[in-house]
Each structure stands twice: as C-alpha cells, then as structure tokens.
Structure 1
Amino acid sequence: MERYRFLLLLDTDKIKDYVFASSKLKEVRGASRLLDYLNRDVSRRIIYQSFGLPDDFSKDEHERFRIVYLGGGAGKVEFVSREDAIRCGEEIAKAYKKWTRTASLSWEVVEIDTNHYYKCVAKGEFLLRLKKQSPLTAGQSFHLGIFHRCRHQETDAVEAVNQHFYEIKEVTEAYYSLRAQQGESFVKVGPASLIKRAFDQYYERYQSCLSRSSVVKQLRAFYGENWEFPKQLSVIGQADQSGHIGLIYMDGNRMNKVLQTLQTVESYQQFSIGLQNAIDRALVETITQLYPRGQLPKLANEDEDEQKGQPSEASVLPVEFVLAAGDDLIVIVPATKAMTFAEKFIEAFGVYANKLIDGQAECLTMSAGVAIAKSSFPIKYLVPFAEQLLKSAKKKHYERRLQGESSLERLATIDYMVVSMSSNPDLATIRQEQLKKNEEDIDYELTVRPFDLATWKSLRQLVAQVKRHRPRFPSSKMKQLYHLHFMERWEGEYYFQKLFMNLSDFHKQSLRQLYSLVGQGIFPSFWYQKEEGVYASPLLDFLEIYPFIDEAENVLVGEKGGNGC
C-alpha cells in the first residue's frame, strides 16, 4: 500500500482581479510578488510547521507528506492522512486572507489512485472549479477613492479618503505605525493597496530569500547591479519614445493532453518543475536578447509618490512580468518590442518545453494575445482585452490542429490589436461591428488575424523590410489604403488601382508579398475571396502594426525555434 493516500490541491482565486486592481505599477508588482511568495514560500512553511519540523528543514518529502508542486498560484501536496491535508489546506487559506485581505485560496482533498494518478488530479481540479464558481467570502473591489472601510485593528469604522487609491498621508503613516506595533510585517494593518506596495519594497530588499526570484537573480547576474525595474507604466512607454506599451498574455496549448500521459506522481512532479523552468529560461533569454548587456535605456524612473523635482536618470530594464496562473504569463514591454518579445518567447519556450516530452506525439506550444495601448490606458481594462486576444489565438491553434499541422511554427499562434478607445474594449464587438461589413449579401472581413507563428514571422519581416527601405512608404498613401476598406467595393477598387499604379516598384512588390502570405494575389482588387460569400483583406493587419515594429528588430530575432517539435 502506498504511503501517501490523499492529495491536497491548492489554487489561488481570481489572480488577475487582485493583481490588476490598480493601474499603479508598484501595486501590480507587489501584488504579483506577494501571491507568489504566499504560494511558494508561506505555503511550504505552513506545511512544515504543522508537523513541528525545524526551521532549517527544506525537503519536499517527509514520512507524513510529499510536496509535488508549488508554483504559478497553485499547488499539489500528498499526505498520509486526510486530516493532515484538511488542516494544511485550512491554514494556507487563512494565511492568504491574513496577508492579502482581499485575495483568497480554494483547496480540495481527494483520495489518490496510484494506478490512475491523472484521474484523481482531474477529479480534484473539477471539484476546485465547482468551489470557485460559488460566491466568495473575499474579493478584490475597485475603489473610487471616496471612502473605504477601515481595516486598522479589525474595526469597522469608515475613514474618509480624499484621493484615489488611498493616496493620503495620514493613512500611510497609520499603516507603518501599526505595522511597527504588530512586529509582523503586513498583518492586520491593511488596506490592500498599501500591503501590495510594502511587499514590493520588501521583495526588493530581501529577494535573495524568495524562491521565485530566480528570474530576477539571472537578470542581475547578466546586467549587474546598477539598473532598475520601471516604477511606472509611463516609464515603459518612454523607453522606445512611443508613449505606448504592449501587454502580452501567453498561455500553453493543450497542456492537459500531455498531463494525461503522466501516470505517476514522479513524472507529474518532474514535468511541473520542468515546465516552470522552461518558462523562466525562455523569459530570461528573450529579455536579454531584446536588451543586450550595456544597452539598457537611460530613463527618468521616478515613483508616482516620490518627491517631485528634477528626476535623475537611471539604467532601466523596461520590462514587467507578473504572475498569472499555471503556465500563463503576462509581460508588459515597450510597444515596439511587444510583438518581437511574444515571437521570441514562444520560440524559446517551444525549444525548452519540448525537451520534457521527448518521444511523445504531442507538441508543446504557446499562444499569445498582444494588446498595444498608450501607457496611460487603464491596465485593468487592457488585461482582459489581451486575454480575449489570447482566446482568439487559441482558436487558430485549434484550427491548425484540425488541419493536421504538427510543427511548432504552425501550432503556435498569435493575435494582436492596437487599442485606442477610452472605454472598456471588447474584441468580439470590434471585429464584428468595426472590422466586418456586408454589401449585397457578401461579407467583407477587414482583418485576417490571428496568425500562426510562421505567418506572423513573415509579416513581421515584411514590415521591417518596408520600414528600412528608402524612400519610405508615403504616410499619405497608407492613410488612403486604410480608408479604401470603408468605401463601397467598386469605389474602393477604383481608388486602389490608381494608388497602386503610383507606388514604386519596391512598394508594389511588398504589397504582393503581403497577399502571398494568405496565398492570394493583390491586383486588380485588394479584396480576395476567402470562402463562398466572404471576402477579406490583410492590409489593415499590416497598417495597424506598422508603427510598432522596429526596423532593426529583424536582426535580433533568430530562427532558433525550428519547424518541428
């Protein structure tokens, strides 16, 4: 009979709601790091303490428990007795509530079937999903800055706040005073936003003792110590002088299919750890290739709450990566680096992750949604929009599988959009109402996105090639190409033919190359027949991303990903 009979499954609730409750970068970073610290360090310490183990104990396996995996906001731990599993689940959930105030943890205990290990994991995850669908006792609310319920000393007094996000000196002073009185950082002293900020400072000071700092440690080793992470989203936007940022939301494809092949706890544990290492390696490799040593931009990197005055410049790595969940990853970079970052990361991840499943038919790939917007755009709206783009990219992945594709470059997919509206955007509404029209019972689609990785790479190379060419593509003609799509078909085709004939031979050939990416010719019409009763054009896909492709990026992106898995 197996020693460990019960499996405790842990999963952090609504991570994105907690992390992106504020648009202030230090709160986003602090929230992400706090959740990761709770997941990897505090949860482990609670398990050790529940069995009276000494402070220097650090092993994954003990006669009463075995830690399979802790990371990505989730965890799986085996126990000899159900009572031990329940006790640890309850204590870890209490720790989340105590430290965060507004975040919560769901947990479930199932009996282990050693002959069908994945089935018991799947059962536990199903029960977890049922729990997550029930009303939560805690949740992250978006405050308007008018008032908030005071958490100091566990009272219910209401305290007036006259600035957004608790930006008030008295509250800040009270927070630090109470924290000093308690003796234990971040406990019973809220509110949530101040806890996030304080943990951001704590993390920077004590990062060497935090297990999730592996990426930061590697970056410090590569760049040295004299550089900083951005303190505001606007700093990221200033790094390429565009004033825009790119938020990249990435997620693995068909991971469950791979997990179903793992029938032992050892293989499950090895794969989980290996997958996280693959993500970390791909992340570090991508960052260091896009920002080589000695080439970090010098920027005025001042915190929103720091003393206003003449800001001093510092070497800044204009990248922010935050915890999402599992194999999800959210990265914020300057807009002109966003698409290249997504492409390079997907390729590197494919190389490292597929070494974990050598000999298997399944190919591990990632999909990405990239939302580009001004750095002042509310991040709490940009994240869900990037998530919608990710779902769109995953649909393309599914289509490619149905078509029998098996290579990494055909199964990895990417979707993008430049967001300019001031309200909360919705991808389906935009593409159905603004990027599609009907004329005489014929549908016209103004976009052919999303793309597989191979098609995107060809498009990116084409854009970079056009941008490097002198003389440049006339901006007036780009505007004309855009407006042609909103004319009646006969009118648009007439003006397109006039415009096309006046282009240089190079630019004519470039447009022909663009249409060759979708297997079509361009002349005499810029519309091509996609299927019966449906016509499409890739021109807007080219024009929209054109300002956000660095003409020098072509030489930075290697072909390391290969064509297979």
Structure 2
Amino acid sequence: MSEWSQKVLVPILEGQSPDATEVERLGGLALFSADVDKVKEYVFESTRLPEIRGASMILDKLNLGWPRSDYKQGDSRQPKNVREVFLQARLPTRYHKQDKNPDCIVYVGGGSLLALVPIALAEILKKEIEALYARETCVATITCVWQPVAADDVQKCLDDLMARQSLLLRRAKEEKDPLPFFEAIPPARRCQSCGIRPAAEPSETRPELRWLCRPCKKKVEQSKKHRGKNQWTQKFVSELLAGRLDCDPKAYLNGYEPTAQTFDSVQSADNLEEIAQASQDNKTIGFIYADGNGIGCLVEGSKTIGDYRRKSCILHRAMRQAVFTALGRHLHIAHDILREATGKHVDIHPFEIITIGGDDALLIVPGDRALDIALTLGRTFEAELSQHEEFTGRRATLSVGLVIADRRNPVYFLRTLAEDLLKSAKKRDRELAEKGQSPTEGTLDFLVLKSQTMLSRDLTDLRSHFPWTIISADPRREKAILTSRPFTWTEVKQLKRTAQAVDRGLSRAQLQALRKALRQGRLASTLFYLYQWARSDEWRKMLLRWLEEQWGIQASNTPPPWIKLEPKGKYERYATIWEDTYDVLDLVPRLSDEEWSELQEQIRREMQREVVHAG
C-alpha cells in the first residue's frame, strides 16, 4: 500500500482527520466523481431485446465489474472496468465483495462513481476513465469532475462538498462535446439493429445474418457471451435459491426442483414476444420505471464518508431486494414458450431487468402482472429503508411509471412514455409532501396503451384534451377529468379491490355504457349514473354506495360518479375513478366464488355500520 493510502486515505475511511501537512506533502486530496452520459439513449437505441440487454451488461461491467484476480497495481494491461483504472494508477480498491482492504472508491453503481484520490492523479484518472468508455462502447461517454478538498472538510462538511460536486458535474455535462459521430455516406449499408450508423460488417460470416455497426456488434457479442442471460437474472436466481427473498421459491419454480442445475436449462427471453407469451392474453408487456423521491438529497446530505457509503449500500441492497421480491412473488417460470428463431419450445424467465441502480430500476414484465409487481416493488423498497436508522424519520419513498402495451410497440417509445408517467407520479408525491400527507408511501402512474396514436403525444398533452379531459363550453368553466391518477400505494390496492368488485358485480356492457356517458360531460354522466342506480336492485345499489364511500365521493358533496378536486387556475375540477377501474379489470385476478362471497359479506357489514353510524 502506498504512503498516501496509509497516511491519508485510511484515516479518513476510519473517521479520523489526517495531518494537513502530511496530506499536502503526499500529493493532496481530491474528491472525484463520474457519471455516464445519456445512458437510456445508448441502451435503447435498438428495439431488439438482445441488444438492449447487451448494452446494459456492457455498462454494468464497466461500472460494477470487479478487477481480474491477476490485475495488480501499476499493471500495464488495458483496464476493463473503472476499478482496474484505479489499480493501474496504483490506488487501492477491492477485488471482490468480501474484500475488506481499504478502497479509495466510496461508491460505484447506477453509472455513477465517487472516490477519494491524490490531486496529482485526478486528471489522469479522468482521461483514462473517459477513454475506457469510448474504447469499450464506441459511442457511450462518461463525464468526470474533481475538486481539491481539505481532509477536515471531508470529515466535517461532506454535504457542502457534495453540493458543489453535483454542480460541477452538471456544468461539465452541459458543456460536454456532442456524442461520437459516425458518418453515414449514401452508399453505406445501414446497421440493421439501430438504423443510425453505417454497418461495419455482418455479425457472422453467413450472408443471411444481420449487418451491424461496431457499437451494436459489441452489444450482441456481450449478450451472446453470457448465453443471453442477464447478470441481474443470475443474481435473482441466486437469491431465490438461497431463500433470501420474501416469496415462495416453489411458486416461482413452477414444478422445477430448487437446484442450480435446474436453472441452467431455463433461458432468458429472446424478445418482447416471449415475455408477452407469459401474459394471460399472450400479447401485452409492462414497462416499469421506478425511481426514488428525494433519495439523492438524503445521500448527498451525509456528513461523513462513512455515512455516505453506508447510505449508498443500503439503497442499492433495498432496490435489488425489492425488485427480486416483486418478481419472485408475482411471476413463475414460463414453460413451452415458442422461440421463433429456432422453432423450438423453451422454458424462460418471463422478465427482463434492464438495470438496477442506487434508487432506480427499469424492468419489462408480462402485462397482466405488471400492476402487482409495481405495487410490491414500491412497498418493499420503502419497507426495506424503514428498517435502517439512516432513513428513519425521513421521507424516503419510491415513484413508479408503468406502461402496459402490446408487444409490437417500439420499446424506445415505451421507455419515454414510462419516464413521463414517472414524472407525473413524482409530481403527485411532491404535492403530498407539501401538504404533509402520505409521508411513508410513494406513488404510481400508469397507462394502458390501446392505440399507436397515443405514442405521438406527450402525457401532459394527452391527458389535457378529449377524451381524457372534458372542458365545459358554458359559463361554469369546469374540467371533468376522466382519471384520478397518479395513485398512492394505498390507493392502488384500493383500486385493485374496486376492479375486482366491479368485475363480479357489474356487467361489461354496463361499464361500457358508463364510460360512454362520462365522455358527454359531468352533468350528462351524473344523470346517467343516477338513472342506472335507480334501476338497480338492492345489492347493486349497495355495491355502488360502497364504492362511493371507498373513494370519498359522498364526502366531497358532489353527485356521483365525480369527485371534486381543488380548483386550478380559472377552472373548477372534477375527477372520476371509473376509467381507471376499467383499465385495470384485466390486470387483477378475478375473484373466485368463495372470495366473491366473502367480499359481498364484507360490503354488507361495512354498509350496515354506515347506516347505524348515520342514524
């Protein structure tokens, strides 16, 4: 170990302040950070799942990969990941997860990095890491920044240093040169994967196979190298077999014996069609984009390096545990899935984990299980954080954007739409935080994509016009909004229960008629609803009253099926949950006769209590 590591780094990691004179004599101290640029553009520039998986695996290998066992400090070989870059610069870093030796890397994950390094090596590390990403990906870039710091400041006011570090990183990203450019001259053959760059050569020697550009070829090769098995899938299987997930392994195994050898024959999905085949309708997928709310501020507000490292590790473990638990609880191995490339039937893991970062995750799952997976993901993540004192008493929640769509929709657009939904869910979370409501649960916004025309508009524009919003043309100046999304986790669970009750208690024809009436405006739909209520038998009247009580419709002093919202601008606003209920009918399991009888009895008891209370 170098003298700088012994006399500067180790004391800081142990919570002590090294002598300032010694720090200066040994080369000073710099806070070094890095972040990959435009990750999603690189990962999703191809619509094919193997290329998406390969791109994600390349970035994870560069960011999260451990050094080769024979790669020593000062090694002259080209580094393959960021840890080897630090070793080449003769800086200490761990070789594996159980390695307890000092590590100058404070945090690495999710495409980001934070480290303590000598000032003299900071610029060298910056150039080497940037060259590493350019060499290994051909197109993806990474931004690195550093600032000289005093050892005492690292121990006493790390939060102030991190605020400045974040500012430096944002400024560097804004000033960064454009992404690498590949000229595509007219005679050049276009890449058959991304369609952006000129193809360099066919992916194999056989002429019937695809012509790919160099970046896409690297993605395909990375995916094939691991037989198409995502490293996250392998980690999921490992955790499942070890019994470390809050789910029943036998249910996921779906008839398999719980051994590692068994899983060797289970493959990852080759395309979105295979994931969709695991859905009940054999055609829909769910794209989930989850991200923490204000989590970055909680971590960057750490006072010491040790505190920062602990919080980062807790977050990463919590997100991984939440994703794995949600998948294990609501999915199972899909048998006899037709693989079009070979014409054979295979057994697959019916999901794709694109990435798991510090507090974010991107997943593709079967459409009919997507809502349950998103709900379990959010609640498990928040429950995991609540067990640690570092997050006790803090608002540490998760928001999720969920798109459920036909498998033939371009995955890039699904990702963009999921990102818009995530922003909408985060906005609701901020509004709840400002009002002091729902301090311990996050939010979900979802969209069931039913037509290609919905892809041509952003979410805000889509929902602010007909048929999502009905604006009155008379002097009342009101907006009737045909959705109550985004929802909190409690409301999502309530929506599922509502959909199950409606599915058994009302006919689809009645629901379709109500949906048609809703699009005629608030007054017309209210008259239709009350007319249908008057024509119903006593049981259906009780069911409708129960639904109104569940969603606070009567408490809002507004005729059903509308809920009055807070005014915004010059308009009075009203919302309804019936469109949301209709959208999730096929996303929740249908109640058995026994379960339906139990729910009916519960509804009768609750409504009788309401009558007694009112009396």
TM-score by length of 2: 0.76
Question: What is the letter of the counterpart of residue 9 of structure 1?
Answer: S
The alignment partner of 1:138 has SS state of: coil
The alignment partner of 2:574 has SS state of: strand
Q: Any residues of structure 2 matched to 1:49-88 within 5 Å, and which?
A: 49-51=88-90, 66-79=104-117, 81-88=118-125
Larger relative contact order (CA 8 Å, sep ≥ 6): 1
- Deviation, structure 1 residue 96: 0.7
Provide closer, same or farther for how the CA distance between residues 72 and 57 of structure 1 changes in structure 2, counting only shifts above 3 A: closer
1:455 is matched with 491
- Deviation, structure 1 residue 329: 0.7
The alignment partner of 2:31 has SS state of: strand
Query: Aligned partners of 1:527, 1:502: CA distance in 2, in Å?
Result: 19
1:181 is matched with none
Match among 496, 499, 522 for residue 529 of structure 2: 496
2:599 is matched with none
Match among 420, 439, 442 for residue 412 of structure 1: 442
Query: Aligned partners of 2:94, 2:312: CA distance in 1, in Å?
Result: 26
Query: Aligned partners of 2:292, 2:119: CA distance in 1, in Å?
Result: 32
Query: Aligned partners of 2:97, 2:532: CA distance in 1, in Å?
Result: 69
Match among 505, 526, 551 for residue 518 of structure 1: 551
Asked if 2 retains the 8 angstrom alpha-carbon contact of 1:12 and 1:74, the reply is: yes
The alignment partner of 1:215 has SS state of: helix
Asked if 1 retains the 8 angstrom alpha-carbon contact of 2:312 and 2:358, the reply is: no
Between 458-467 and 282-291, report the one with greater CA deviation. 458-467
- Deviation, structure 1 residue 172: 1.2
CA RMSD of aligned residues (A): 3.3
Asked if 2 retains the 8 angstrom alpha-carbon contact of 1:175 and 1:190, the reply is: no
How many aligned residue pairs are there?
514
Correspondence 1:266 to 2:306 = yes
Provide closer, same or farther for how the CA distance between residues 526 and 259 of structure 1 changes in structure 2, counting only shifts above 3 A: same
Provide closer, same or farther for how the CA distance between residues 54 and 245 of structure 1 changes in structure 2, counting only shifts above 3 A: closer
Query: Aligned partners of 1:58, 1:523: CA distance in 2, in Å?
Result: 58
Query: Aligned partners of 1:171, 1:279: CA distance in 2, in Å?
Result: 39
Correspondence 1:215 to 2:236 = yes
Provide closer, same or farther for how the CA distance between residues 20 and 506 of structure 1 changes in structure 2, counting only shifts above 3 A: farther
Match among 148, 167, 190 for residue 126 of structure 1: 167
Between 526-535 and 20-29, report the one with greater CA deviation. 526-535
Question: What is the letter of the counterpart of residue 328 of structure 1?
Answer: D
2:402 is matched with 370
Residue identity (%): 24
Query: Aligned partners of 1:269, 1:544: CA distance in 2, in Å?
Result: 42
Query: Aligned partners of 2:379, 2:105: CA distance in 1, in Å?
Result: 31
Query: Aligned partners of 1:264, 1:162: CA distance in 2, in Å?
Result: 48
Question: What is the letter of the counterpart of residue 396 of structure 2?
Answer: L
Q: Any residues of structure 2 matched to 1:387-536 within 5 Å, and which?
A: 387-405=419-437, 407-408=439-440, 411-422=441-452, 423-434=455-466, 435-439=468-472, 440=474, 441-467=477-503, 469=504, 473-503=506-536, 505-521=538-554, 525-531=560-566, 533-536=572-575
1:171 is matched with 202
Match among 136, 139, 146 for residue 99 of structure 1: 136
2:218 is matched with 195
- Deviation, structure 1 residue 347: 1.1
Asked if 1 retains the 8 angstrom alpha-carbon contact of 2:199 and 2:213, the reply is: no
Correspondence 1:332 to 2:364 = yes
TM-score by length of 1: 0.82
2:62 is matched with 38
- Which consecutive unaligned segments of at least 5 residues does structure 2 have? 1-16, 66-80, 243-248, 254-261, 596-615
Asked if 2 retains the 8 angstrom alpha-carbon contact of 1:16 and 1:324, the reply is: no
- Deviation, structure 1 residue 164: 5.6
Query: Aligned partners of 1:317, 1:510: CA distance in 2, in Å?
Result: 40
Between 442-451 and 420-429, report the one with greater CA deviation. 420-429
1:11 is matched with 35
- Deviation, structure 1 residue 445: 1.5
Asked if 2 retains the 8 angstrom alpha-carbon contact of 1:396 and 1:413, the reply is: yes
Provide closer, same or farther for how the CA distance between residues 149 and 324 of structure 1 changes in structure 2, counting only shifts above 3 A: farther
Correspondence 1:252 to 2:292 = yes
1:550 is matched with 589
Question: What is the letter of the counterpart of residue 26 of structure 1?
Answer: P
- Deviation, structure 1 residue 136: 3.4
Question: What is the letter of the counterpart of residue 78 of structure 1?
Answer: L
Between 534-543 and 353-362, report the one with greater CA deviation. 353-362
Query: Aligned partners of 1:206, 1:490: CA distance in 2, in Å?
Result: 55
Between 508-517 and 231-240, report the one with greater CA deviation. 508-517
Match among 218, 229, 239 for residue 268 of structure 2: 229
Question: Greater CA radius of gyration, 1 or 2?
Answer: 2
Asked if 1 retains the 8 angstrom alpha-carbon contact of 2:44 and 2:411, the reply is: yes
Asked if 2 retains the 8 angstrom alpha-carbon contact of 1:239 and 1:299, the reply is: no
Query: Aligned partners of 2:470, 2:96: CA distance in 1, in Å?
Result: 65
CA offsets 1:190-229 (integer angstroms, 9 cap, x no match): 522221111112234898xx79953353256655413222
- Deviation, structure 1 residue 135: 4.5
The alignment partner of 1:447 has SS state of: coil
- Which consecutive unaligned segments of at least 5 residues does structure 1 have? 142-147, 151-155, 177-188, 556-565
Provide closer, same or farther for how the CA distance between residues 59 and 317 of structure 1 changes in structure 2, counting only shifts above 3 A: closer
- Deviation, structure 1 residue 326: 3.8
Question: What is the letter of the counterpart of residue 59 of structure 2?
Answer: L
Provide closer, same or farther for how the CA distance between residues 77 and 528 of structure 1 changes in structure 2, counting only shifts above 3 A: closer
Query: Aligned partners of 1:253, 1:247: CA distance in 2, in Å?
Result: 19
Correspondence 1:238 to 2:259 = no
